[in-house]
Structure 1
Amino acid sequence: MSTKRQVHLAAHFPGVNNTTVWSDDRAESQIAFSSFEHFAKNAERGFFHFLFLAEGLRLREQKGRIHDLDVVGRPNTLAILAALAGVTEHIGLVGTLQTTFNEPLELAKQLATLDHLTDGRAGGNVVTSSDAFHGANFRRGGFLDHADRYTRAAEFIELSRELWDSWEPDAVVADPASGTYVDRSRIRDVDHHGPQFDVTGTFPVPRSPQGHPVIVQAGDSDEGRDLAAAHAEVIFSLHTEFDDARAFSDDVTARLARHGRSRDELLILPGATFTIGDTAEEAQERSRAIRRAQVSPATAIAFLEQVWNRDLSGHDVDGPLPDVEPDVDADAITRGRVRHLRDPRSTVAAWRARAASDHLSTRDLVIEVSTRGGFVGTPEHLAAEIDRFVQAGATDGFVVVPHTNPHGLDEFVDRVVPLLQERGVYRDSHDEGTTLRQNLGLPDRVRDRQAATA
């Protein structure tokens, strides 16, 4: 058996941001079930560990209007995953779920149900929000202070696990005479009182195959990293450059130790794009074409407006960057998008210097700073790079993000996966286990909890 570290791969369904190239001849609906079905079955054919779906609670807006090249429609994640359970057999099904505007019992029940439907293949990606824009869809506005987002998320996860643990594994007993019945003595009432939640009652769903569906986390802030170190089992990270990825891994590893956890209890899977060519030159040319298609003139203007916080609809994207400064005092004209820039003015100054030195137009500059080339090269190069990251401990694998829907994963499965298998770093069967937790090599939380309380 190989002693090499094994690569873990997940597949991110495209269609919820401007990185999806809708002008591609192969592009199909991001709503039709046939798109989800093809994508999921193809990922399963490639022995991917899980399918990953994003979700949003409201469509993003720019100056009060929906930017249709960014995202149009976000169907319910759990409904799609439940449907995919019927057309897949092995692949894990993970959906993004909000801890801010949902309630623990509701989502714990839904995830436990999905875990039953899939025979143990369910997982949830924990995300937070505190803004009134999303809250308005729930008639709750900005009810949660920004500083409390992760306080609520941590208690949300803790309470969910308390609910899942309230049923002992043998609480449902089969009786030959009368059929299946519930042994009430093996179910504990939940009596939880914390800063965010007061819950008293009985969880309605029997213990699912995994006991605890797998918890994924996608925040990158200091608070988000601490939440992941304390509670998550997979991190969907932003860090795809080698040195950056290794620094992130070192940081999270140190945080794990502070929470009494080890590195083998958490997988780090950055989201990574890819472009394949028969030669390095062909791959680079394809990558340039894809990145240009991702940033149309309208998208370039929308991106500028998010940073400048000004109406720049009359700006020439083939000319230089705007000569006005960002308006940092006005209300944001972009709604529903996470802002990663802490200092727009210094960012704009750096962009102007880069555009001048590299002779970049506005659109060219936006392409450079808003899109990622990801892994670009021949299939052999991609397999070697993925292997390098994993063997060095910079990552445990990647969440592969195609640029077309639903066929964007096809070439990766056909041309890169076999090379990873030849290297002895990627599985070639679904025989590792029956549950997502087992296939990811994660600890059995139920067994560990029972041992700790014995």
Structure 2
Amino acid sequence: MTDNAHSRFHVGIQIPAGADFRSARELTRTAERGLLDFVLSENVTVLAALVAATERIGLVAAVEDTGGSAPFEVARRLATLDHLSDGRAGWTADGAEEFVTVVTKFWDTWAPGAVLADRDTGRYIDPDRVRAVDHRGPQLAVRGVAALPEHPRGYPVLVEGFSRRTDDTCRFVLAADELGTFVDAEVPRLQERGTFRTEYTGHTLREHLGL
């Protein structure tokens, strides 16, 4: 049998574009009942609202490279989602490698120990431990500091390489009409074979994916 920390299958479900919150919530709760790794959505606001409706499942945002000041905004919104969900946030980037690099640079601006929160001295941060991003590359010229520090368990997971292949070790994303069948029929079969978790033993997306 597999250990329950993670499974050989890493499975996500995409929330249809334009789905209302009620539909997104029911789909996500079904996915969590099936012990899936994550739900994927282009709408970070919907994912943030799903934090209160779920406990363990990962919340992955599909992010597009829109250039300009977008890396700062993407870093801010994903870091906020990660804090709200206590480490369950992830993202998949539809853009250049440089865009991904700049976003992660923003998360690295706050060094460990930068947050002092010292009531006696009134100092919230140690400015010597906060370093600005000053990036000038082929496509982007960006300078600034992240709006908040990364989550103590690390910053949001970059989820890449998910496909719809069906071999025993692949990572794949289900279509919206396949979820019920997978949860009610396929998950029990995989659990019997020892290739899928029988419970969530971690709390973060990193733990679900065995990272």
Give the TM-score category using the shorter length.
0.7 to 0.9
CA drift at 1:162: 1.1
Alignment-derived partner of residue 252 in structure 1: none
Alignment-derived partner of residue 186 in structure 1: 129
Alignment-derived partner of residue 199 in structure 2: 429
CA drift at 1:180: 7.5
CA drift at 1:172: 1.1
Aligned residues of 1:123 and 1:213 also touching (Cα < 8 A): yes
Of the candidates 235, 240, 257, which is equivalent to residue 161 of structure 2? 235
Mark the runs of 5 or more structure 2 residues left unpaired by the alignment: none
CA drift at 1:176: 5.9
Aligned residues of 1:115 and 1:210 also touching (Cα < 8 A): no
Alignment-derived partner of residue 23 in structure 1: none
Distance in 2 (CA, whole Å) between partners of 1:11 and 1:425 is: 18
Please give the residue correspondences for 1:264-413 in structure 2 after superposition, counting only pairs within 5 Å: 270-271=163-164, 386=166, 389-390=167-168, 395-403=169-177, 409-413=179-183
| Residues 188 and 41 (structure 1), Cα distance of their counterparts in 2 relative to 1, 3 Å cut | same
Aligned residues of 2:32 and 2:56 also touching (Cα < 8 A): yes
CA drift at 1:35: 0.3
Please give the residue correspondences for 1:214-229 in structure 2 after superposition, counting only pairs within 5 Å: 214-216=157-159
Secondary structure (helix, strand or coil) at the match of 1:43 reads helix
Larger-gyration structure (1/2): 1
Distance in 2 (CA, whole Å) between partners of 1:204 and 1:400 is: 34
Alignment-derived partner of residue 22 in structure 1: none
Provide the alpha-carbon RMSD of the alignment: 2.4
CA drift at 1:177: 3.8
Please give the residue correspondences for 1:132-143 in structure 2 after superposition, counting only pairs within 5 Å: none
Alignment-derived partner of residue 154 in structure 1: 97
CA drift at 1:178: 6.0
Distance in 1 (CA, whole Å) between partners of 2:20 and 2:122 is: 40
Aligned residues of 1:165 and 1:211 also touching (Cα < 8 A): no
Secondary structure (helix, strand or coil) at the match of 1:6 reads coil
Of the candidates 37, 42, 47, which is equivalent to residue 30 of structure 2? 42
Secondary structure (helix, strand or coil) at the match of 2:91 reads strand
Please give the residue correspondences for 1:86-165 in structure 2 after superposition, counting only pairs within 5 Å: 86-101=52-67, 103-128=70-95, 153-165=96-108
Alignment-derived partner of residue 9 in structure 1: 11
CA drift at 1:183: 1.8
Aligned residues of 2:161 and 2:171 also touching (Cα < 8 A): no
CA drift at 1:191: 1.5
Aligned residues of 1:169 and 1:207 also touching (Cα < 8 A): no
TM-score of the superposition, structure 1-length normalised?
0.43
Distance in 1 (CA, whole Å) between partners of 2:121 and 2:131 is: 24
Greater relative CO (CA pairs within 8 A, separation 6+): 2
Secondary structure (helix, strand or coil) at the match of 1:235 reads coil
Distance in 2 (CA, whole Å) between partners of 1:113 and 1:200 is: 20
Single out whichever of 160-169 and 36-45 deviates more from structure 2: 160-169
CA drift at 1:193: 1.4
Distance in 1 (CA, whole Å) between partners of 2:137 and 2:23 is: 42
CA drift at 1:199: 1.8
CA drift at 1:174: 4.0
Distance in 2 (CA, whole Å) between partners of 1:209 and 1:84 is: 21
TM-score of the superposition, structure 2-length normalised?
0.88
Distance in 2 (CA, whole Å) between partners of 1:126 and 1:409 is: 24
Of the candidates 409, 416, 434, which is equivalent to residue 186 of structure 2? 416
Distance in 2 (CA, whole Å) between partners of 1:201 and 1:208 is: 19
| Residues 155 and 101 (structure 1), Cα distance of their counterparts in 2 relative to 1, 3 Å cut | closer
User: Which structure features the higher share of helix residues?
Assistant: 1
CA drift at 1:182: 1.4
CA drift at 1:113: 1.0
Does the alignment pair 1:80 with 2:46? yes
Distance in 1 (CA, whole Å) between partners of 2:114 and 2:36 is: 33
Alignment-derived partner of residue 65 in structure 1: none
Distance in 1 (CA, whole Å) between partners of 2:121 and 2:179 is: 50
The percentage of aligned residue pairs carrying the same residue is 43
Mark the runs of 5 or more structure 1 residues left unpaired by the alignment: 17-29, 56-76, 129-152, 217-233, 237-269, 273-385, 443-454
| Residues 180 and 101 (structure 1), Cα distance of their counterparts in 2 relative to 1, 3 Å cut | same
| Residues 45 and 197 (structure 1), Cα distance of their counterparts in 2 relative to 1, 3 Å cut | same
Of the candidates 124, 141, 145, which is equivalent to residue 198 of structure 1? 141
| Residues 209 and 81 (structure 1), Cα distance of their counterparts in 2 relative to 1, 3 Å cut | farther
User: Which structure features the higher share of strand residues?
Assistant: 2
